[in-house]
Structure 1
Amino acid sequence: MTRLIFLGPPGAGKGTQAQSLAQFLGIPHISTGEIFRQAIKEQTPLGTIAQGYLDKGELVPDELTQNLVKERLSQSDAQSGWILDGFPRNVSQAAFLDQLLVTINQNNERVVNLDAPDEIVVTRLLGRGRKDDSEDVIRRRLEVYRAETAPLIDYYRDRQKLLTVNGNQSPEEVSTELQKVIA
């Protein structure tokens, strides 16, 4: 049973790789970013709240995101495994997730850190052409990532759950390396 958490800076290719690996393994790719983008598009109450934070380049508050993840992991398609992308984003979310996974009997997860240098991810994100991807906002998101999310790397390394993959190579090479490390 495969349960993976994907970490890495914005633009490292987490979404692309998580999606492709999830298809390869036949398990759901659970992207909190996608769930939020859908909610924003549909202008749901959650979407409206999330939009306010994202417009400023800030993270959506823990409680909102945790409720979303808890609900998603309890759905039937997630019982045989999953790839979580975009959560946890900080150590308190990781502690919440540890507790949740034990409670719902879905622990034994592993963590993939898709690593890529800042300059590479800035170039990639600018190339995507999303309206929220100005260079200032991207650099702000990287600062937030380094401050909030990078400590998770130590958190999971200390628990012997961390696998690091070089995200600064072609998507095909990253996919091949991912399939090797999780095999």
Structure 2
Amino acid sequence: MALNLILMGLPGAGKGTQAEFIVDKYHMPHISTGDMFRAAISNGTPLGLKAKSFTDKGNLVPDEVTNGIVKQRLAQKDTEPGFLLDGYPRTLDQADALADMTEQLHKPLSAVINIDVDPKILTKRLTARFICKNCGATYNKLYHMPKVDGTCDVCGHHEFYQRDDDKPEAVQNRLKVNVKMNTPLISYYKDRDLLFNVNGDQDIDKVWQDVDKILSSL
């Protein structure tokens, strides 16, 4: 049976890593909104061109266009063994639209996996990131320091910086926006018995074991 999944989690929760593990084991396409938009725009599809007219002006793409692009993507043949949606839906209206399209395509959702980490922990994780000024190599004060203190492993330079959006105030704001967006969706999928919360504040391999256990049981 096909596994049709949504992956949720706040920035820094480790969604990207878990998505790689899921795709690798269960052989399904990882469908992120950004990738879908880029593909639709570069292929010059009517919906892609419509989306481009909004993104070019720095505006949000309206739901009807986003939903149309998602539906076209889910209708493609490579989603028959299942799919992993990431970054969609973002609103309750989009969740309703997704429910309609999965029903029409006979590809009902199997589960929504939410990688759950306390925002305070995520603030620590995200603000710990720093970058080599010369080559852009990324480090983290919590779990990935340069081998030699103050020296980049990749290019040997000694100057580092922190991106503006990794500074505490920006990180807290980003998390607040995402919590506000995710909370109604978590309730929505919980009410439909599709939600599985996974503790993301564990070792990466332990998080994967928990995710894999859920998927194997489906």
Q: What is the TM-score when the length of structure 1 is the normalising length?
A: 0.81
8 A contact 1:6–1:112 mirrored in 2: yes
- By how many angstroms is 1:38 displaced? 7.5
Whichever residue aligns with residue 6 of structure 1, its letter is L
Distance change in 2, residues 1:70/1:157 (3 Å): same
Q: CA RMSD in A?
A: 3.0
Whichever residue aligns with residue 142 of structure 1, its letter is L
More helix by share: 1
Residue in 1 aligned with 2:211?
178
5+ residue gaps in structure 1? 54-58
5+ residue gaps in structure 2? 43-47, 132-137, 139-162
Q: Percent identity?
A: 39
Distance change in 2, residues 1:67/1:172 (3 Å): same
Q: Name the SS of the counterpart of 2:31 in structure 1.
A: strand
8 A contact 2:37–2:69 mirrored in 1: no
Residue in 2 aligned with 1:70?
71
CA distances 1:56-91 after superposition (whole Å, capped 9, x unpaired)? xxx754334323311211111112201111111121
Residue in 1 aligned with 2:185?
152
8 A contact 1:14–1:114 mirrored in 2: yes
Whichever residue aligns with residue 28 of structure 1, its letter is P
- By how many angstroms is 1:36 displaced? 4.9
Residue in 1 aligned with 2:195?
162
Structure 1: distance between partners of 2:122 and 2:61: 21
Whichever residue aligns with residue 126 of structure 2, its letter is L
- The answer to whether structure 1 residue 93 and structure 2 residue 94 are counterparts is yes
Structure 1: distance between partners of 2:196 and 2:28: 19
Residue in 1 aligned with 2:141?
none
- State how 1:1-183 maps to structure 2 within 5 Å: 1-36=2-37, 46=51, 49-50=54-55, 52=58, 61-126=62-127, 127=129, 133-135=165-167, 136-183=169-216
After alignment, is 125-134 or 171-180 more displaced? 125-134
Q: Name the SS of the counterpart of 1:88 in structure 2.
A: coil
Structure 1: distance between partners of 2:125 and 2:40: 25
Size of the aligned set, in residue pairs, is: 177
Structure number with the bigger relative contact order (C-alpha 8 A, sep ≥ 6) is 1
Q: What is the TM-score when the length of structure 2 is the normalising length?
A: 0.70
Structure possessing the higher radius of gyration over alpha carbons: 2
Distance change in 2, residues 1:77/1:108 (3 Å): same
